[in-house]
Structure 1
Amino acid sequence: MAHMIRSKFVFLSLKYANRAAPRISVPLKYQRLCFHTSWILDVKGKELLMPSLSPTMENGTIVKWLKNEGDKIEPGDAIADIQTDKAIVTMEFDDEGVLAKIIIPEGTKDIKVGTLIALTVEADEDWKTVELPDQTAKAPAATPAVTQAAPVAAAEAPPPGQQNVFMPALSPTMTTGTIVKWLKKEGDEIQPGDALADIQTDKAIMTFELEEEGILAKILVQEGSQVEIGQLIAITVEKGMDWKQIVVPTSTKPSAAPAAPSPAQPTDAKPPPSEQVYGLAVKRLLEEYGLSSGSIKGTGRTNRLLKGDVLAYIQTHNIQKVAPKSTPAPSTDKARPSSPAERPVSGKPSPYEDIEISNIRAVIAKRLGESKSTIPHSYAVIDIHIDKLVELRSKLKTENINVSLNDFIIKAVAHALLECPDVNTLYQKEQIVRVPKVDVSVAVATPTGLITPIVFDTATKSLTDISKNVRELAEKAKKGQLKPHEFQGGTFTISNLGMFGIKEFSAIINPPQTAILAIGAGREELDLSLTKVTKMSVKLSYDRRAIDEDQAADFLAVLKATLEDPAFLAAGKMQALRYQRDAY
């Protein structure tokens, strides 16, 4: 019966293929028997959407496609590397089939979760005849918006055997990067996994590796240069090719949104634009030759105008490029200083010096500004007697156990967070998220700015383990060698300026965390009985949306009791074991 239905449908398809017949609606139970469920000979693909790979992910960047069009996919195969708001995560496929069409190219940024990124078909279907879904043709305005986020140079396909290397996004918040050092020279061979360059992101200096073999043919950006994500920085060629004979694209900059034309400018008599879909390369050709898409008939699928269509039209009609409009030079009156006091004095050096802001400082400024403007900060301060703590530290030092006061504070904070779980929270998407684990971030000053490496599972670690962990993280932070997972995340932050003699200060919350503790220096005072005591002021900055005043007071009270009786830290081993059991 199935064979008869298939034969009859194929016969009708061939008979009416050349007529303007309406689309045939096939019953659901016969869809598997036909070539296509919406048209006659095309294959309807399964939609592959941008997944949500982290709890806070709203947009993603396709770093690299791990499968090519036409490749077979088995359950569990890696499809693509996707950069989330936290790290680069590999997306796996849960079904079998064939990758038929890649909709979103590599390097495209800010792809919303749920956006169509690729199409797959069954293993026995012809993947070359896959049809794009109807919404792609119905909403052409959305397609260029996604394509424009890709680099301009990516639209120009490189010659066979030549690969373009773009500035990668090595951290979720990275928008620009500085090439610190090229680790390969022009003409050097590259093996998969070889380090190509050291790049300074907004967080640290990271090594950029290549996953394909070849030869480094051309370095387009010199060491010390700061470039945007997606900008062309180098060109590689396949082994055996003459690496000196390469084609450098005319534009290496990432794409920018085109400026809207002024209504006062005269318009040329051009045909109205059509509803055809086209990419950046076609758009640039149309602008260079002053053409409209409505005057050229596209030959691509789903009403798409191809680059070859435009080139053929230009050659047939012998059309010349349109001269770019020149910008008038500024008048001498406006360029002249308004008063003698404003005129620069010739022959004398300027008394001012411009200091370039590093990527890390730029991101710190942006995030702190957002934190202060969006988070309602509340503050609570308390004095803690640390005489017993100083005495215990000195005793441990005689036993060749070197731990700092900051190590005691980190451990005491971890136990206070166990007792007060309402402070060990995150504020995400207008919700308070209570975190079962205690991961304390510790602020570390580096030459390029402040960074907060994380002491993971702080409550389960001993004082010596915490001390060793903090020293290792601080050393890596100052050298710019921290890995993303070592500074991204954390549930609570400590900032200690006591070693600089700062008595008290207010720290700014690091979102999505809800609190940060500022530690001041110890100072000697006389109490009511005229006895000399050592006090230390700590100030808690907390998000009033997530933490109430009484919850903040309870946390500080537990912290005070813990530090004023250091033996309580040793007695807290049972709590640590209980925490470890509950967390896992």
Structure 2
Amino acid sequence: MMATSLFRSAIKGGLSKQILNKTIHSLLKLERLCIHTSSFLNVKGQEIKMPSLSPTMTEGNIVKWLKKEGDTIAAGDVLCEIQTDKAVMAFETEEEGILAKILVPDDAKEIKVGSLIALMVAEGEDWKTVEMPDSAGAPSAPTTEIQAEESGQPSGGNTPGTEIRMPSLSPTMSEGTIIKWYKKAGDKVAPGDVLCDIQTDKAVMVFETEEEGILAKILVGDDTKNVKVGDLIALMVAEGEDWTDVQVPGEKKVASSAPKKESPELKIQTKATSESVTRHAYDGYSPAVRSLLELYAIDGKSVKGTGKLGKLLKGDVLNYIDQNKLTVKPPTSVPLPGETTKSTPSVSSPVSRPAKGPGFTDIPLSGMRMTIAKRLTESKTMIPHAYATVESNIDSLLGLRKQLKSAGINVSVNDFIIKAVAVALKKCPLVNCHYVKDQVVLQQTADISVAVATDSGLITPIVTNANNKELDEISSEIKELAGRARKGKLQLHEFQGGSFTISNLGMFDITEFSAIINPPQCGILAIGSGRPVIALNGKPKTILTATLSYDARAISESAASDFLETVQGLLQTPASLLMTASTNRRASN
């Protein structure tokens, strides 16, 4: 150390002991100061985390960084390309500064959303001395929170129980409602026993256990809504153990590594709505900071900046908003043309809404409707829809249906359509396909999904191998499936899958419409109602319009045209639909 070497030199030089002690004390103090403050010489970086680039994205792969360390970044620049669960997308930044450190390299896979992937500093700061945050070693965890080492204390008795958690009963299920328990505490449970009914985002399904033992404790009772998949719902013990003394495990708690303390100097007084909020000039800030200041009507001088020379960063403003629990300020009211205002405040008061009363009803969205909205949005966003329409003369079909009815066989026009579409899919196999992971997967069977409206939303029960079934068999199967669909009693395999979908609104007098593709399927046929028109010979005829929506990535225009032409021919010559594949084989022999 510097003080030790100086001590030895001073002794040889003959300095007095008193002067020497004072000198060494000052040097040791200076040395300690340098050691303990050296970290402040580093630049505190602004964190860049893995973004969520699609509604269903939970993790992504970094394909390639388009910026390198030391590059200057402006708002709107593309930092890197990220492969989501849907496509490869560009990650644009809203900040400006210098890219200081890339923590996750090219071709890094399965990076969780929210994980730390890079650091940025303000322009003019030394990016080479950027300070690594404590969470850099574990980017998947938030920087302000850590998991507590100890779990919560177990409660209850002394018998350890087997945990039963909310299952995932459909691929899109994230939470469910426990409708009814069929077992009660103390009942014996064997593999295959039904524990309870669970309402998913699609239907009410039974939860069968694969374990055996005794149901010891039900933690989530009947009619409990919004239970997350994976949540603990019950406990079970082995047969012979004391189920009344079961131990309820404690849940892990999240403890903050730096507990937030209420800072009195950061609190602001809430003004009455009649007082105007003064807008401040926002020049000199980055676009992201300026946008936040304007949106929340914040005076930038009241926020402490942590950048170089006290520069205000986006994170500083976000922390200020969070600490003070600010909300977005309403825009300035603008009078309509011709209106006169006595005094126009700089910020308008919140929009007044009618009080709830007999004329207003709030309808909560069911889990099924939220899932439908999500999937339809993904479909229209990610799938290039193409459309083709064909008109068919169904007079012969209506005549044949009338003859069958007189013979005691009741079938609908929709049953003919299902059979015609299934036969056409076998004749035009390029349309009978799925699009999965950038590949076209041809389907071996013609499984027709039929759209059925229920109180909870639209569901599509499946008629499997429809091309090999008789018309009356299709009719009875559709009635049975539709009835159970409206009661929410369909099994998972009865409405998930299918190779092609039919949506028929003819019974509602809709003459023509287009439908949205249900991925991973590549086609859906929208059927309108039959309508009378006058033919060229002056005689009336009944025309039915069918519109095909197809995935242009998987189905070509020629394949779509061949399919519609085949459907048209089958509907105009419906006698061929009375024969199954086995009948056709016998006829050919």
TM-score tier, shorter chain, comes to 0.5 to 0.7
Residues 215 and 236, structure 1, Cα contact 8 Å, conserved in 2: yes
Match of residue 190 from structure 1: 189
Matched residues in 1 for 2:164 and 2:224: separation?
17
Matched residues in 1 for 2:427 and 2:380: separation?
28
The equivalent position to 2:525 in structure 1, one of 517, 521, 543, is: 517
Q: 1:140 to 1:162 in 2, by over 3 A?
A: farther
How many residues align? The count is: 378
Q: Secondary structure at the match of 1:485?
A: helix
- Listed as ranges, the gaps of 5+ residues in structure 2 are 1-57, 60-84, 86-109, 113-135, 264-321, 331-344
Residues 153 and 251, structure 1, Cα contact 8 Å, conserved in 2: no
Residues 215 and 243, structure 1, Cα contact 8 Å, conserved in 2: yes
Matched residues in 2 for 1:434 and 1:220: separation?
44
The equivalent position to 1:504 in structure 2, one of 485, 502, 512, is: 512
Matched residues in 1 for 2:411 and 2:437: separation?
39
Residues 467 and 580, structure 2, Cα contact 8 Å, conserved in 1: no
Match of residue 527 from structure 1: 535
Q: Secondary structure at the match of 1:521?
A: coil
Query: 1:49-448, aligned counterparts within 5 Å?
Result: 160-210=159-209, 211-239=211-239, 243-251=243-251, 330=325, 342=351, 349=357, 352-448=360-456
The one-letter amino acid paired with 1:517 is: L
Pairwise CA distance, 1:522: 0.9
The one-letter amino acid paired with 2:462 is: I
Match of residue 279 from structure 1: none
**CA root-mean-square deviation:** 4.3
- Listed as ranges, the gaps of 5+ residues in structure 1 are 1-57, 60-84, 86-109, 113-138, 267-326, 579-584
Residues 212 and 238, structure 2, Cα contact 8 Å, conserved in 1: no
Q: Secondary structure at the match of 2:248?
A: coil
Matched residues in 1 for 2:545 and 2:161: separation?
62
Pairwise CA distance, 1:512: 1.4
| 1:288-339 deviation digits (Å, cap 9, x = unpaired) | xxxxxxxxxxxxxxxxxxxxxxxxxxxxxxxxxxxxxxx967589999x976
| 1:246-298 deviation digits (Å, cap 9, x = unpaired) | 4434439xx99x999899999xxxxxxxxxxxxxxxxxxxxxxxxxxxxxxxx
| 1:14-35 deviation digits (Å, cap 9, x = unpaired) | xxxxxxxxxxxxxxxxxxxxxx
Pairwise CA distance, 1:540: 0.3
Q: 1:386 to 1:238 in 2, by over 3 A?
A: same
Q: Secondary structure at the match of 1:233?
A: strand
* In the alignment, structure 1 residue 553 sits paired with structure 2 residue 561: yes
Residues 454 and 486, structure 1, Cα contact 8 Å, conserved in 2: yes
The one-letter amino acid paired with 1:531 is: K
Q: 1:357 to 1:533 in 2, by over 3 A?
A: same
The one-letter amino acid paired with 2:544 is: M
Match of residue 574 from structure 2: 566
The one-letter amino acid paired with 2:392 is: I
Pairwise CA distance, 1:520: 0.5
Pairwise CA distance, 1:487: 1.7
Match of residue 491 from structure 1: 499
Match of residue 290 from structure 2: none
Matched residues in 1 for 2:530 and 2:262: separation?
69
Matched residues in 2 for 1:172 and 1:473: separation?
21
Residues 186 and 219, structure 1, Cα contact 8 Å, conserved in 2: no
The one-letter amino acid paired with 1:558 is: T
Matched residues in 1 for 2:542 and 2:369: separation?
35
Pairwise CA distance, 1:468: 2.0
The one-letter amino acid paired with 2:367 is: N
Pairwise CA distance, 1:384: 0.8
Pairwise CA distance, 1:174: 0.9
The one-letter amino acid paired with 1:444 is: V
Moved more, 380-389 or 351-360: 351-360
Residues 153 and 232, structure 1, Cα contact 8 Å, conserved in 2: no
TM-score relative to the length of structure 1: 0.57
**Higher CA-based Rg:** 2
Q: Secondary structure at the match of 2:558?
A: helix
Match of residue 280 from structure 2: none
Q: Percent identity?
A: 47
* In the alignment, structure 1 residue 482 sits paired with structure 2 residue 481: no
| 1:166-195 deviation digits (Å, cap 9, x = unpaired) | 111111221111111222334444344332
Residues 195 and 207, structure 1, Cα contact 8 Å, conserved in 2: yes
Pairwise CA distance, 1:538: 0.5
The one-letter amino acid paired with 1:213 is: G
Q: 1:153 to 1:198 in 2, by over 3 A?
A: farther
Q: Secondary structure at the match of 1:518?
A: strand
Pairwise CA distance, 1:342: 4.0
Match of residue 461 from structure 1: 469
Matched residues in 1 for 2:328 and 2:430: separation?
64
Matched residues in 2 for 1:333 and 1:167: separation?
37
Residues 454 and 487, structure 1, Cα contact 8 Å, conserved in 2: yes
Matched residues in 2 for 1:388 and 1:375: separation?
37
Q: 1:574 to 1:557 in 2, by over 3 A?
A: farther
Q: 1:259 to 1:354 in 2, by over 3 A?
A: farther
Pairwise CA distance, 1:401: 0.9
Pairwise CA distance, 1:163: 2.5
Pairwise CA distance, 1:458: 1.6
Q: 1:344 to 1:488 in 2, by over 3 A?
A: closer
Pairwise CA distance, 1:509: 0.8
Pairwise CA distance, 1:506: 0.8
Pairwise CA distance, 1:534: 0.9
Matched residues in 2 for 1:472 and 1:201: separation?
21
Residues 218 and 236, structure 1, Cα contact 8 Å, conserved in 2: no
Q: Secondary structure at the match of 1:392?
A: helix
Matched residues in 1 for 2:414 and 2:431: separation?
20
Q: 1:523 to 1:332 in 2, by over 3 A?
A: closer
TM-score relative to the length of structure 2: 0.56
Matched residues in 1 for 2:392 and 2:541: separation?
10
Matched residues in 1 for 2:471 and 2:176: separation?
38
Matched residues in 1 for 2:379 and 2:354: separation?
43
Q: 1:515 to 1:344 in 2, by over 3 A?
A: closer
Q: 1:575 to 1:375 in 2, by over 3 A?
A: farther
Match of residue 302 from structure 2: none
Q: 1:572 to 1:182 in 2, by over 3 A?
A: closer
Matched residues in 2 for 1:153 and 1:503: separation?
65
* In the alignment, structure 1 residue 543 sits paired with structure 2 residue 542: no
